Chains A and B, each alone.
Chain A
Amino acid sequence: MSVASLGDKSVVTRADFFAPSLGKRLAYVAVFAYLVYAAATLGLSLDRIEKGVGYGVRFLAGFFPPNFTETDIIPGLLESLQIAFLSSLIGTALAIPIAVLAARNLMPPWVSWLARLLIIFCRSFHPVIVAIIAVKAVGFGALAGIIALTFASIGFVGKLLSEAIEEISKKQIEAVRATGASFMNVIAYGVVPQVMNRFIGFIAYETDSNLRNSTMVGVVGAGGIGGTLFSAFQRFDYNFVAGIILCIIGLVMIGEVLQIYVKRVFR
């Protein structure tokens, strides 16, 4: 006796093509159950939320009026900006060869796996954790921040760029190889034109993200505006905190606008 195959049927029903999946339903139930469990064990009662919000409102009221008069905002912001640009530049420069090595369509498996391990390693830690280690290693200041964000940039650009390279059209590569081009010439004429557009997008996004992160690594002593922000918090000088936060928002917004122009020039 054999199971009737679909081709033997003359009348079909909805269930022949869209059979209900027990596994999928169980997964939904499991996710919901975990959410309830997590909220319950963390003590997230309505009472606790109400108390927290009340405290938050009083805290935010302390922000006004923001205080911009302190003279250490500008040097701090400039230092953050420098950390962001330097780490983006160095990180991207280091990420390019690593990404090429990590692309499985260009390299033998053992090479791409080693490069991928390196990328995974760079991505494993939040920049603040790397910054803490870097501060211990090279001391307080901007150098530690640059190291931390360079590390993050290698992971981020390396991963996205290697994935972009893996998605390119093989046919174009094949044609360039067929002309007798060397590996580097295949990269220059077969790979680069296909990934350039996205690569510029990655750099812009990475610089943007480094700009935000560079305002934070200072919290652990790795240079930039973050240190100023942290000490203002510790002094309960919330007006000054508000001033710094508004300046950071302004800086990130300027970065956003610059990004648009940079992309337009390079495309």
Chain B
Amino acid sequence: MSTLSIRHLVKEYVPGKPVLKDISLDIEGRGITAIIGPSGTGKSTLIRCINRLINPTSGEILFEGQDLAKLSGQPLREARRRIGMVFQEYNLVERLTVMENVLSGRLGYMNAWSAWRRKFDEADIQKAFTLLKRVGLADFANRRADELSGGQRQRVGIARAVMQSPGLLLADEPTSSLDPKTSVEIMEVMRDLAAENNIPVMINIHQVDLGKRYAQRVIGMSGGLVVYDGAPDGLDGDILKQIYGGQDWLAT
């Protein structure tokens, strides 16, 4: 049984002009699934519909026995705890320390009074520190997030997402603000942490080569529809042309 089943998902920001037109997908319990496609084709919208940062117009999103599309309030927040998210611009809380940012992955499990006083479980603090060590930032734990470089911030972002003990990790263009070398490092950190913790990953990515290199499955989107779904090896020039349109850019 798959971890995530998306059934006939539609999202319209403006009535009658769907950004996502009837998307159906199944994400299996392990590995990396990369979603590629031109800007504006609804990749971010798709990712954000899953954890309901954006509300879908219609369709079902089945995850751990619930239809996420129908949840609201407390049940929705409880479902979100099980879905980690990594953002293009890291989205760390700049004025909090690195440690506070990682521990904020536990906020879904804490009441406001404990959260306000930073009364985290000792076990959570230990886990957060171990994660920081794992991504090579243990020495930065007490530094403020805005003192970090882009690559360091994204490592903290990944640690925060893994800290949630999620059943699914979403990543929205996690490497698009980073240089090529750092991008590869971030992809490896994400792949390794996901594998160690048995978390399936769904990742939007612009760099097709990175997607092919790290994903076990690639989904090509164009115009709000899935136009390719298969192994990275199957992505040839014709299919890329179909996904991105034109062909001049493919010439080398």
Contact = CB atoms under 8 A, between A and B. Distances in A.
B164 A174 contact: no
Nearest to B88: A171
Given A180-B81, A189-B107, A172 B94 contact: yes
Interface string B107-126: 11111100110000000000
Nearest to B157: A175
Interface residues of B, number: 33
A172 B92 contact: yes
A266 to B, nearest CB: 13
A174 B91 contact: yes
Nearest to A186: B107
Q: Is the interface of A mostly helix, strand, loop or mixed?
A: helix
Given A188-B115, A189-B100, A189-B104, A179 B81 contact: yes
Contact of A185 (B51, B91, B112, B160): B112
B151 interface: no
A181 B95 CA distance: 18
A179 B108 contact: yes
Interface in B74-93: 77-83, 85, 87, 89, 91-93
A179 B160 contact: yes
B96 interface: yes
A12 interface: no
A169 to B, nearest CB: 8
Interface stretch (A36-44, A190-198, A234-242): A190-198
A184 B225 CA distance: 38
Interface in B46-87: 51, 53, 77-83, 85, 87
Nearest to B100: A189
Contacts of B91: 171-172, 174-175
A263 B79 CA distance: 41
Given A179-B80, A180-B164, A189-B93, A174 B87 contact: yes
Contacts of A189: 93, 96, 100, 104, 107, 115
Contact of B107 (A174, A180, A196, A197): A180
Contacts of B96: 189, 193
A162 to B, nearest CB: 19
A176 B104 contact: yes
B107 A193 contact: no
Contact of A179 (B100, B104, B116): B104
B224 interface: no
Contacts of A172: 91-94
Given A174-B87, A188-B112, A179 B95 contact: no
A93 to B, nearest CB: 16
A181 B107 contact: yes
B200 interface: no
A175 B108 contact: no
B79 A180 contact: yes
Interface string A183-213: 0110111100110110000000000000000
B167 interface: no
B77 A180 contact: yes
A182 B104 contact: no
B95 A193 contact: yes
B105 interface: yes
Given A171-B89, A189-B100, A178 B80 contact: yes
B24 to A, nearest CB: 24
A169 B93 CA distance: 9
B87 A171 contact: yes
Contacts of B94: 169, 172, 193-194
B112 A178 contact: no
Given A172-B92, A190-B93, A194-B93, A181 B104 contact: yes
A175 B116 contact: no
Interface in A63-117: none
A126 B85 CA distance: 49
Nearest to A183: B112
A181 B92 CA distance: 15
Interface in A131-183: 169, 171-172, 174-182
Contact of B77 (A181, A193, A194): A181
26 contacts: A171-B89, A172-B94, A174-B91, A175-B87, A176-B93, A176-B107, A178-B83, A179-B108, A179-B160, A180-B77, A180-B78, A180-B80, A180-B107, A180-B109, A181-B77, A181-B107, A182-B108, A182-B111, A184-B112, A185-B110, A188-B112, A188-B116, A190-B93, A193-B93, A194-B94, A194-B95
The 5 closest A-B pairs by CB, nearest first: A180-B108, A184-B112, A180-B81, A180-B80, A175-B91
Given A180-B108, A190-B93, 8 more contacts: A174-B53, A174-B91, A175-B92, A182-B112, A185-B107, A189-B100, A193-B93, A193-B96
